[in-house]
Amino acid sequence: MLAPFHALCHCCDPSRRRPVKIPRGVWAIVKEVARHLLRRPVVGIAAAARTPDGRWVLIRRGDTGEWALPGGTLEWGETLRTAIERELLEEAGCRVQELGDLLGVYSAPDRDARFHAVTVVVGVTVGAPERPPENPLEITEVGLFGTDELPAKLAHGMSAMLDHARDGKTTWE
């Protein structure tokens, strides 16, 4: 097993390890780079998902207690197609049967209070949930709703996304 990185190894003798000292100027550069990197919009994808019988799939978020479209952020090296399939399985326990149309791209900086997100919404046909959400702290419940049973308000600015999807209106902001 490799020992953790440390400065001036001295043949990996723990009694001779010296702590790594990082000059103050390096920390300033790291902070500046992080500030620029972390102030970039996050790319996400959300599914306007329906079962073959027409019911909408929504998830109840643990942080707000509100219903939302299933979805999440793109991981490094992942395509949007792979991300939506992964997120639907992780959050709603549903498998994709058919990917549909691009329904919208939402980029208003104030839509989500957590961060500036660019969210791509796609229509998806899914099978009924096969298993519970992977992280019950993040997603507490999965629901299937008829169009006339949908909640009036969704979490994180997703109400307009669902309204546009229901109306078949492609939106770009």
Q: Is 69 helix (H, G, I), strand (E, B) or coil?
A: coil
Share of the chain above pLDDT 70, in %: 81
Q: Quick check: 1 pLDDT over 70?
A: no
Q: Give the torsion through C-alpha atoms of 139, 144, 145, 147, to 10 deg.
A: 110
pTM: predicted TM-score of the whole model, two decimal places: 0.77
pLDDT at position 97, please? 98
pLDDT at position 18, please? 67
Q: Quick check: 32 pLDDT over 90?
A: no
Full set of structural domains in the chain with CATH: 41-172 (3.90.79.10)
Q: Cα–Cα distance between 49 and 70 in angstroms, integer?
A: 8
Pairing relation of β-strands 171-172 and 96-106? parallel
pLDDT at position 24, please? 66
Q: Give the pLDDT confidence of 133-143 residue by residue, as tens digits.
A: 999 999 999 99
* Overall average pLDDT of the 71-99 stretch: 96
* Overall average pLDDT of the 24-38 stretch: 69
